[in-house]
Amino acid sequence: MLPLAGIKVIEFCQVLAGPFCGCLLADMGADVIKVEPPEGDLMRAWPPLMDGYSQYFASVNRNKRSVALDLKDAAGRDAARQLALSADVVIENFRPGVMAKFGLDHATLARDKPALVYCSVSAFGQSGPRAKEGGFDMTLQAMSGVMSVTGEADGRPVKCGIPIADFTAGLYAAFAVVSALHKANRGAGGDHLDVSMLGAMLGIANLQTSEYFGTGRDPVKLGSAHPMNAPYAAFRCRDGYFALAAGTDKLWHAACEGIARPDLMQDARFASPSLRAQNQATLSELLELEFAKYDAAELLQIFNGRGVPCAPINSYSQVLADPQVRHMQWIEDITLPNGVATKTIVSPLQVSGERLGVYRAPPALGQHTAEVLSEIGIRVP
């Protein structure tokens, strides 16, 4: 039995942060019912489309059931309300105030179900001067400071290639939901959880915020380098690049011995982690002169043999073919509702040695409307 088996979640969410929260809960066994407007989640139209069905949508909506309801219609709102009150958890990612217009906000529902765990995911939170503003992953990466520390020092602002604001908010939301469920199941009542993308991004920026609080200086872009450790970056070698993380004295010494440069260990400029970080531009130049004598595969063999963390700069096709990924069975074959066979990444977690796979294919729009509504006594003509 999966840890959240028996927990019922109603998801009023579109696109990514909220649906990812729902996906995480569904992976753990919760019955997640995705309530969509008649035209469907916007993400259903996002490429890549496989015979009309979005692979991207499928990736965060596995293991869910779909109900199509028009919340602008009285019957649709009534059905949505009954669904919400039949559940343990409600997740929504509308702008603050929108759910209240439908009578589906926390204050309204909690009057009838005090134990309800209600999670609101938004760009900036449910209150404050920016609460009514919308936001997307890129704009939150910009505002949160992430783009100020991403990329090369002399380059234009760039975002992280992965939509980390969306996914981080989804992770915080799922953690908060499970924590609140634990409280509610003790009879201590439900909660309204306020999860913001901006707050989530600041919540994971400990390295940068502590640097600012400790020094009064804004962190800066360092490419792949680290402000406090070196060598800890991507380095050029004879046939391309590789990543090396030798931030401690022990690892630094092992790296120097691996490339037959023990003299670097005696260099006063590189005598400690902090000195190596302060002088890392010079250090990188010296190391890349040595690395130019080797191909990446040779350097990886040398450093792995000495226990120094290192890695190839993989493309996604390369990492998905890695033997560790195959061993962990993180890639699973699935069939979309339109009959198209494809693959997806499943939850990377294991529970008691068992992986969390796809037990319910991503749904067609409204696929489970009649089924789900019948469970709460509503007959669909």
For the annotated catalytic residues, the residue numbers are 166
Using CA atoms, how far apart are residues 284 and 271, in angstroms rounded to an integer?
Answer: 15
Sign, Cα dihedral of 266, 268, 270, 271: positive
Contacts of 121 (CB under 8 A, 6+ apart): 13, 17, 18, 21, 91, 92, 93, 169, 170, 173, 195, 196, 197
Separation of alpha carbons 39 and 42, rounded Å: 8
Spatial CA neighbour of 225 closest among 294, 159, 284, 306: 284
Quick one: DSSP state of residue 380?
Answer: P
Quick one: 16 exposed, middle or buried, by C-beta within 10 A (0-12, 13-18, 19+)? buried
The two structure tokens encoding residue 170? 């989804």
